[in-house]
C-alpha cells in the first residue's frame, strides 16, 4: 500500500509538472531559437494538449532541449542518434558552487524577490525551480506551509528576472491558479532567522539554497 501510494504521488507530480511545462515548451517549439526550424521539420505539429504529450514520441527530446536552453546550451539539430550540445554554441556561464549566496556585504535588493501563493499540494521546489529559472538565475527558493496555505518565496539574481516572472501570475499549476507578486524579502528573512535559531515554525521545505541552473541541468540529465 505504501508503494502504491508513492507511485500515485509520483504520477500526480509528473502530471502537474507536465501541465506547467506544456505552454513553456510549446512557446519554445514555435520560437526562433537556433536550429528550431530543423526541430519543427523533424517533429511535425506540436500536440494540442498536455495529455497528448504523454504519448508523443518527441516530447522527451523537446523537454531535454528546452531545459538545456534555459541553461544557456543550444542542442544541435535532431539526428538518428542522441542529440549532443552544439559545439558552436557559446559556453554557458559557470554555475556558482552549491551553497553560495550573495557576496558578503551586498544585501539582495527587495526587487529581486517574488512570492508565489495559492500553490497546489503537488508543487515541489524542483518543479518551481524548473519553471521560474526560465526568467533568470535563482539564488534561493523556499516553500512555506501554514495557515495561508502553501507558498513559495523566490530570490532571483536580478530584479529584471523577478519582474519577468510576474508573467506567470494566473497560470494554472495542478488544480490551482498561481498568484505571483513582487516582494517577500521579509518572509525570506524570517525563514532564514528561524533556520539559524533552529526554529521550524516557518516550515521551510525543499532545498532552500539553489545554485543557478543546477536543478534544471539535473532534471535534463534525469530525462536522458
DSSP-assigned states of every residue in 92-144: PPPPPPTT--SPTT-PPPGGGEEEEES--TT--HHHHHHHHGGGS-EEEEEEE
pLDDT at 94 over 60: no
Q: pLDDT value at position 78?
A: 77
Q: pLDDT value at position 91?
A: 36
Distance CA 158, CA 131 (A): 16
Task: With beta carbons less than 8 A apart as the criterion, state whether 169 and 180 touch.
Answer: yes
Distance CA 160, CA 201 (A): 32
**The three grid cell numbers given for residue 155, joined into one nine-digit string:** 530570490
pTM over 0.85: no
Backbone angles phi, psi at 88, to 5 degrees: -85, -10
| Model pLDDT for residues 38-52, shown as the tens digit of each residue | 888 888 888 888 889
**In sequence order, which ranges of 169-213 are alpha helices (DSSP H)?**
185-196
| Closest to 139 (Cα-Cα) out of 220, 215, 63, 218 | 215
The Cα angle at residue 154 between residues 134 and 166, in degrees rounded to 5: 60
Q: How far apart, in Å, are the Cα atoms of 28 and each of 44, 65, 69, 128, 191?
A: 14, 9, 9, 18, 35
pLDDT tier at 113 (50, 70, 90 boundaries)? very high
Residues 6+ apart with CB under 8 A from 124: 13, 143, 206
Q: pLDDT value at position 115?
A: 93
Instruction: Provide the mean pLDDT of the chain.
Output: 73
Neighbours of 127 (CB within 10 A): 23
More confident residue, 190 or 86: 190
Amino acid at each position: 500500500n505504501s508503494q502504491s501510494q508513492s507511485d500515485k504521488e509520483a504520477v500526480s507530480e509528473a502530471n502537474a509538472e507536465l501541465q506547467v511545462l506544456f505552454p513553456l515548451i510549446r512557446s519554445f517549439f514555435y520560437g526562433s531559437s537556433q536550429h528550431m526550424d530543423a526541430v519543427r521539420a523533424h517533429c511535425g505539429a506540436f500536440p494540442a494538449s498536455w495529455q497528448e504529450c504523454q504519448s508523443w514520441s518527441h516530447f522527451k527530446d523537446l523537454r531535454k532541449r528546452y531545459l538545456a536552453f534555459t541553461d544557456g546550451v543550444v542542442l544541435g539539430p535532431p539526428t538518428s542518434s542522441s542529440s549532443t550540445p552544439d559545439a558552436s554554441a557559446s559556453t554557458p556561464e559557470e554555475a556558482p558552487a552549491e551553497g553560495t549566496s550573495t557576496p558578503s556585504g551586498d544585501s539582495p535588493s527587495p526587487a529581486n524577490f517574488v512570492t508565489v501563493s495559492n500553490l497546489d499540494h503537488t508543487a515541489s521546489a524542483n518543479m518551481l525551480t524548473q519553471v521560474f529559472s526560465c526568467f533568470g538565475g535563482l539564488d534561493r527558493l523556499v516553500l512555506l506551509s501554514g495557515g495561508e496555505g502553501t507558498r513559495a518565496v523566490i530570490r532571483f539574481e536580478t530584479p529584471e528576472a523577478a519582474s519577468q516572472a510576474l508573467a506567470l501570475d494566473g497560470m494554472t499549476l495542478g488544480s490551482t491558479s498561481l498568484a505571483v507578486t513582487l516582494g517577500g524579502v521579509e518572509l525570506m528573512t524570517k525563514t532564514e532567522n528561524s533556520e539559524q535559531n533552529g526554529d521550524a515554525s516557518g516550515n521551510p521545505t525543499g532545498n532552500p539554497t539553489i545554485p543557478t541552473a543546477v536543478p534544471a541541468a539535473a532534471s535534463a540529465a534525469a530525462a536522458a
